[in-house]
Amino acid sequence: MNVLMPTSLSEACAFCAKQPDLIPLAGATDLLVHWPIHPAEHDKSYLDLSHVQELRTIGWASGTLTLGALATYWDVLQDGRAKSEFPLLLEAARQVGAIQIQSRGTWAGNIANGSPAADGVPVLMAYDASVTLTSAGGSRSVPLHEYYTGYRKSVRRPDELISAISMPIRKYDFSVFHKVGARRAQAITKIGVAITRESEAPSLGEGVGGRENFHPWRVVANSVSATVKRCTAVEQLLQSNSPVRKPEDFLPALASDVSPIDDIRSTADYRRTVLARLLYHSLRNVAPAVT
Amino acid sequence: MQHQAGNISKTGRSATIPIRFNLNGQKVEIAVDPTERLLDTLRYRLNLPGTKEGCGEGECGACSVIIDGLPANSCLVPTFQVRNRIVRTIESIPASSLQPMLETGATQCGACTPGVVVTANWIKENSGVLASHSMRALMAGNLCRCTGYDGIIDGLEKWLGRDGGRS
């Protein structure tokens, strides 16, 4: 096993440029699960970002919250402003493992690991987060809902690192995150969903035409597709005001949004049924057409 | 799960990494294999077997230690990551701290107990966290398969000098 231990982002990027097979490592909470019985992983090369201090930041500036790549769940749980502006981040953070994991696990690592069951990713996506990818050649920003290209596959090039995650600070008049697991703490998600509704009023500064393309709903589900998945058909259904009078009325839209499977934790049928019920009972008397 | 510390990956390419860190108030300098977990370094190289291995996947909390002031599962920490960090283990906590847990029936087989006491002691030293987190939520990363959790919470309340009463 080969480990490179940079102390700055530029040094880290230089390593990535030279050696594209490096696996970035931050909290290591995903990598070291049952580590002794995964010897194949021991022969790989790792880039330990844990001492790149400049990435351990939470920044509030110019209408944007920026989480540095080393920001942990615990860091966000301690941030008073996150609690008021982005309450779903705290909801999700509280449900990732327990404090022993929350203190080490990072939001960026949750994205990079690429699990469809990731609990941090749906809430970030429901807040229209973007991922900043940095290489020796510069940085680019990718909307999180366009980041994944398939099961544990993404648009990140081997020479790029996730350096930050940023979210526009907006007004929301409704938000909810549900996680269904085998027990309340320390469980991997069977079905999860994050929903936000942006308030219509305050975005006057965004210019003429902004209202026309205004889509207030974000619905993001985890553990029901190969990736964490934005449910655009459900969002459109809510936007269209077509009547929804029972959970099953969400099923046609869900059929185009998600593709759950049977696996060790649940079945496709259970996941589909419960997701429809979570949507219905979360949105009943919240979305005008859901009654 | 058996795992010998300092094992070399199959291809034998691993070079050791020299690190320094603060362990229970003492400076430690040690060369570690990059594949070594903090749990194994503590138990098998530094003779601190109070930290236990339960699940090996970050779920049970038997291997809980404090790194730079926060609880962590030492089974999920590559030892090289604690370079220049401050690590505290159960051995740094006075044995008398266990007394409230003994009085409330919070111990039986003992496998979870060191981890429970590490987390409970952290809560005691950082009781401000109780403003935003319940005791049960803070203890949720320490599983006990013998006694259940009411005794653990009662013991913690007693230790903190709070009124009992099962929440």
Answer whether residue B2 shows pLDDT above 90: no
Provide the token pair at B72: 């962590």
Mean pLDDT of the region A90-97: 96
Q: Which residue type occupies A15?
A: F
Quote the distance between the C-alpha of residue A170 and its chain's center. 18
- When CB atoms are compared, the residue of B10, B58, B61 closest to A39 is B10
Which ipTM did the prediction report? Answer: 0.93
- When CB atoms are compared, the residue of A28, A36, A39 closest to B77 is A28
How far is it, in rounded angstroms, from Cα B7 to Cα B26?
25
Please indicate if any CB of chain A lies within 8 Å of the CB of B117.
Answer: no
Mean pLDDT of the region A118-144: 98
The phi, psi pair for B52, rounded to 5°, reads: -105, 155
**DSSP letters spanning B84-148:** T-EEE-GGGS-GGGGHHHHHTT--SS-SSHHHHHHHHHHHHHTGGGGGTS-HHHHTTTS--SSS-
Answer whether residue A199 shows pLDDT above 50: yes
Q: Given pLDDT bands bounded at 50, 70 and 90, which one contains residue A211?
A: low
Q: Given pLDDT bands bounded at 50, 70 and 90, which one contains residue A224?
A: very high
Minimal CA–CA distance to B64: which of A118, A102, A75? A102
The alpha carbons of chain B give a radius of gyration, in whole angstroms, of 17
When the pLDDT of each residue in chain A is averaged and rounded to a whole number, the result is 95
Answer whether residue B90 shows pLDDT above 90: yes
pLDDT score recorded for residue A36: 96
Expressed in angstroms, the distance from the first to the final Cα of chain B is: 35
Q: Which residues contact A247 (CB under 8 A, 6 or more apart)?
A: A273, A276, A277, A279, A280, A281
Mean pLDDT of the region B142-163: 92
The alpha carbons of chain A give a radius of gyration, in whole angstroms, of 19
Answer whether residue B13 shows pLDDT above 80: no
pLDDT score recorded for residue A200: 80
Minimal CA–CA distance to B138: which of B92, B124, B147? B124
Please indicate if any CB of chain B lies within 8 Å of the CB of A43.
Answer: yes
pLDDT score recorded for residue A62: 85
Provide the token pair at A60: 């509030």
Selected residue with higher pLDDT from B8 and A267: A267
DSSP state for residue B41 in the 8-state scheme: I
CB B37 to CB A48 under 8 A?
no
Task: Give B156's Cβ-side CA count (13 Å radius).
Answer: 26
Taking only the tens place, the pLDDT of each residue in A102-114 is 999 999 999 999 9
Taking only the tens place, the pLDDT of each residue in A253-285 is 999 999 999 999 999 999 999 999 999 999 999
pLDDT score recorded for residue B53: 97
Q: What does the angle CA B102 – CA B106 – CA B112 come to, to the nearest 5 degrees? A: 110
- Output the CA torsion sign for A245, A247, A250, A252: negative
Q: Given pLDDT bands bounded at 50, 70 and 90, which one contains residue A201?
A: low
Answer whether residue B4 shows pLDDT above 50: no
CB B37 to CB A43 under 8 A?
no
pTM comes to 0.94
Q: Given pLDDT bands bounded at 50, 70 and 90, which one contains residue B76?
A: very high
How far is it, in rounded angstroms, from Cα A36 to Cα B30?
21
Cα–Cα distances (Å) from B114 to A185, A283, B65, B67, B68, in that order, read: 20, 45, 9, 16, 19
**B53 and B94 Cβ atoms separated by less than 8 Å:** no
**B85 and B67 Cβ atoms separated by less than 8 Å:** yes
Provide the token pair at B94: 């006075």
pLDDT score recorded for residue A216: 96
Please indicate if any CB of chain A lies within 8 Å of the CB of B105.
Answer: no
Quote the distance between the C-alpha of residue B148 and its chain's center. 19
Cα–Cα distances (Å) from A85 to A27, A88, B40, in that order, read: 26, 9, 42
- When CB atoms are compared, the residue of A42, A51, A104 closest to B9 is A42
Share above pLDDT 90 across residues of chain A, in percent, rounded to a whole number: 91
Mutation site for B-interface testing, chosen from A7, A74, A99 by largest number of B Cβ within 10 Å: A99
